[in-house]
Structure 1
Amino acid sequence: MTSELPAGWESATLGEIGRYLNGRGFKKSEWSTTGRPIIRIQNLTGSGSHFNYFDGELAEEHTARPGDLLISWAATLGVFVWPGPEAAINQHIFKVDSFIDRDFHRYLVEYSLDHLARNTHGSGMVHITRGRFDRTPVAIPPLAEQRRIVKALDNHFSRLDAAVAGFKVIERRERLLAESLTSRAVTGRLLVMESSPLESGIELRREILIERSNKVPRRRATPVAPAMEFPAEVPDHWAMASIDELAFNIEYGSSAKTGEQEQASDVAVLRMGNLQSGCVDTTKLKYLPASHEDCQKLLLADGDLLFNRTNSAELVGKAAVYRSDLGPMTFASYLIRCQFVQGVIPEWVNLVINSTYGRKYVSSVASQQVGQANVNGKKLAAMPIPLPSTAEQRRILDEISRQQARLTQLRQLTEQTKSRAVALRRSMLSFAFTGKLVPQDPGDEPASKLLARIKSEHQRNSRRSGGIGPQSSSASSTYIKEELPL
């Protein structure tokens, strides 16, 4: 808010221009398959479409009807207009009772939440309390100007929203293209062989099994066969092998307790969160002292493939290849290490595991536990892997790397354009709430009279309910204690 307000505008706070009624905490025992859908934050943000239902009596302040203004105030912050149907509001969501123009209020809350987020230290909004939210200063224009501002913003944002929707379509196409690229690569359809290859995967598999028998301890000398047929056709000159047939070592990681780095010699420990999009992500690492026995016994070697054996059903089975230029590292117990014999390029196996076909295998063998899925070492060992010759593996990997680089450039361009759209929206809201978007009209009733009427209404309601101030209304029990994070 600027220090000098435009003519007719008035200073206020978010708490003065509306009531914010918190949703109800529904127990699992109250969930049903009929009744009103229960609105959770993911249903507002679009990260989840599944609804639970409540088939019982519901207070008015916990009921959302089409057109109601809702604010998600935990984890993901945002303001939304509920499209319907009539629904039950879960906790961590406010239903807004606006004392000003509702659409103006929606834009004002969006602008205020963004401003609070960008001016708060720490992660997300964990340090923004309900009290601070209510005390957030805002500038209120005359009611007539509020409506002119809404009309102008709606006009500008309709075009901007259409552009953002187009970006989302592009992102979906990028994901589908990336999946198609990988699927064609691991089934031999990415490159067309101009003539019969001089080397075949069949010959390579025979050589691999001989080398493996010389490296693997006697108790594991006989490898397990693929657990199932590969669910797609591959070229005739390719072989099909299990991971166990291609690897001379498959083992679990360290269960030792890790911590922050204390000595320069401490060894980084890769955990399941360090496997992202088929690559090793080193942004958040934990460490073990270099003297720890696991740092010697389980030290990663160049080309080791890491497989995430326990995670959510969506993430279990992700994999990545460690390369020595990342520095000395070991790995945690929720990961499995695979070390391959000569002739098998680790990135090739990684490509297969992370492909649609690899994901299908993982889903078919994963055992479900409470909130977790697990794929043990035996099931990993039996995963079928299409096997071209080493030279063809390298050719395909080079080609997919080249095409993925193009997709990355397109993705970066899309992200840059989306960031510009966000910045433009932020700029337009800033113009709107500093009186620069639409002209002022001296004939408008000043905002001071609107706020005076709101205050007078608060006082009347307070006298009826026997309380003091606007928060002592009949809905006072729905307010969150100020100490709770917004």
Structure 2
Amino acid sequence: MDTKKLRQKILDLAIRGKLVPQDPNDEPASVLIEKIRAEKEKLIKEKKIKRDKNESHIYRSDKSYYEKFADGTVKCIDEEIPFEIPESWEWCRLGSVVSLISGQDFPPDKYNSNEDGIPYIIGASNIFDGKLQINRWTTTPSVFAGKGDLLLVCKGAGVGKMCLCDLPKAHIARQIQSIRVYNNHISIEYIKQVLDCRIEDITSKANGLIPGLNRELILDFFIPIPPIDEQKKINQNIISSVELINSINRNKLDLSKIINQAKSKILDLAIRGKLVPQEPNDEPASVLLERIKAEHPESKKKTKNAGDNSHYPFEIPKSWEWCYFEDIATNDLGKTLDKIKNQGKYYPYLRSVNVRWGDVILDDLKEMKFEDIEIYRYSIEKGDLLICEGGEVGRCAVWDRENSMLYQNAIHRVRFHCKIDSYLYMYFLWHYNNIHFLDNYSKGVTIKHLTKSSLNTIPFPLPPLSEQKQIVQKIEEIFASLDKITNSIIA
């Protein structure tokens, strides 16, 4: 379930009058707007606000929408109306039903961080998860936002971000516009819901090198107005719906965490020989190692008997052995990218970014020059284990394609001897990454690297060949079931 889309759908239904039923006994929005206009006239006469020279009035006639301007001109605006609304609702410009207060910046000597004065709201950095976070104060405030105002970030990074002011009084900077309703004739919470739903429509019109929403853009924004009682019902319905969505999200996160923990536990059991039972008739890993030594005398035997675990991270079954990659495989880094020195023909090659956990992504391949003599040396074959040397060291996947592929020196190519299962060691590395065991072998301060020599000093358990297949099969069987659960909660 895409809860973000679900929330957006609820908001969209709300502002179209489809979330709660209309009540024919409600006072229509046209009367509400007349009350707001009367309130504004009263404030103008009292010289508390200035008359808006661009103010207009939107009305319906003959099934069309018209806008009457202050100079008396009338214009049909059917093409500008965003969508249809119920008969008891009205369209208006946002500036017709709210006042908009623009902020003023202060130099550093006009504010402080020791809570002296009133809060100073500078921009998006003060809004976190829909709440205000104050870290500056001023003793010389001049532009005020008050409790119940809707604060909208109108400039810079975070443009379009908003929250309701819960402070009695605060000074606002130029990056903030404060939206204030007239005498509670309209719900500020409802205004916020409309802007939340259509904020992308507004921010898409932001212009300039630094994104910004000017006053005219905000004031001219079309807003659908329901009767006041319906506004309150819409607000309550949205709150209830959002609480349910948040609960779903929390449950999804909890379940995802549990599934990841379950996968980690499965890998832990697998690497300790506790996921599948040992078969006493299986050829022990010690015999496998001797066969590798005979067939590949270049391998350096550093193995230690399973009974002596004093230098190894955990105990393993008696039929298993501890080993290193150079005991059971060849391990080589790819070709170094050097545009000046490299010669030959251009070929696509793998970089570390192409190697994900358990998968190789081929939709962003680069090309590099390879000479004919280098093709075999730097080719990846089916069954090779690819391990990232830098960045997220140890991230790995098995090359499972029939065709070969070239690779660069940010990747270790591990090619196992005697049909040892590459997937088993992919899962073992995955487990080592989960428990941060690889941190002991990576080098570097800012960017970590897993050198060839370091990789060859990491101890790995070696199960008998037949048991390797059983372990991989069991891991993939359980992971598939867990992934099915994950996909069901995402869909």
* TM-score bracket for this pair, using the shorter chain length: 0.5 to 0.7
Shift in Å, 1:55:
9.0
Deviations 1:169-194 (A, max 9, x none): 1111111111111211121111123x
> Which residue does 2:285 correspond to in 1?
201
Shift in Å, 1:403:
1.3
Shift in Å, 1:17:
7.3
2:273 to 155, 164, 188: 188
Shift in Å, 1:114:
5.7
Distance in 2 of aligned mates of 1:126 and 1:396: 59
Amino acid at match of 2:475: I
Matches within 5 A, 1:383-462: 383-416=458-491
1:269 to 318, 331, 349: 349
Distance in 1 of aligned mates of 2:236 and 2:210: 31
Contact 1:280 1:320 in 2 (8 A): yes
Is 1:321 aligned with 2:407? no
Distance in 1 of aligned mates of 2:355 and 2:407: 11
> Which residue does 1:158 correspond to in 2?
243
Distance in 1 of aligned mates of 2:148 and 2:313: 46
1:104 to 187, 190, 201: 190
Distance in 2 of aligned mates of 1:18 and 1:70: 10
Is 1:298 aligned with 2:378? yes
Distance in 2 of aligned mates of 1:412 and 1:126: 42
Is 1:239 aligned with 2:321? yes
Is 1:170 aligned with 2:252? no
> Which residue does 2:91 correspond to in 1?
10
Matched position secondary structure for 1:149? helix
CA RMSD of aligned residues (A): 5.2
Shift in Å, 1:148:
3.3
Matched position secondary structure for 2:282? coil
Contact 1:179 1:356 in 2 (8 A): no
Q: Which runs of 5+ in 2 are unaligned?
A: 1-80, 114-119, 168-172, 182-186
Matched position secondary structure for 1:353? helix
Amino acid at match of 1:406: S
> Which residue does 1:366 correspond to in 2?
442
Pair 1:166–1:59, CA change in 2 (3 A): farther
Shift in Å, 1:250:
2.5
Pair 1:13–1:354, CA change in 2 (3 A): farther
Deviations 1:333-353 (A, max 9, x none): 322222221242111111111
Q: Which runs of 5+ in 1 are unaligned?
A: 47-52, 86-90, 259-264, 417-486
Deviations 1:288-331 (A, max 9, x none): 367677555312122221111211xxx32211111233x44222
Distance in 1 of aligned mates of 2:251 and 2:291: 51
Distance in 2 of aligned mates of 1:39 and 1:375: 43
TM-score by length of 1: 0.61
Larger Rg: 2
Pair 1:55–1:79, CA change in 2 (3 A): closer
Q: Percent identity between the aligned chains? A: 15
> Which residue does 1:283 correspond to in 2?
363
Pair 1:82–1:172, CA change in 2 (3 A): farther
Q: Highest relative contact order (Cα 8 Å, sep 6+), 1 or 2?
A: 1
Distance in 2 of aligned mates of 1:130 and 1:392: 63
Contact 2:159 2:212 in 1 (8 A): no
Pair 1:151–1:350, CA change in 2 (3 A): same
Is 1:376 aligned with 2:451? yes
> Which residue does 1:139 correspond to in 2?
223
What is the number of residues matched between the two proteins?
378
> Which residue does 1:448 correspond to in 2?
none
2:337 to 255, 261, 275: 255
Deviations 1:106-150 (A, max 9, x none): 433432246689x99xxxx99994349984744242583544321
Amino acid at match of 2:396: A
Contact 1:272 1:335 in 2 (8 A): yes
Pair 1:115–1:207, CA change in 2 (3 A): farther
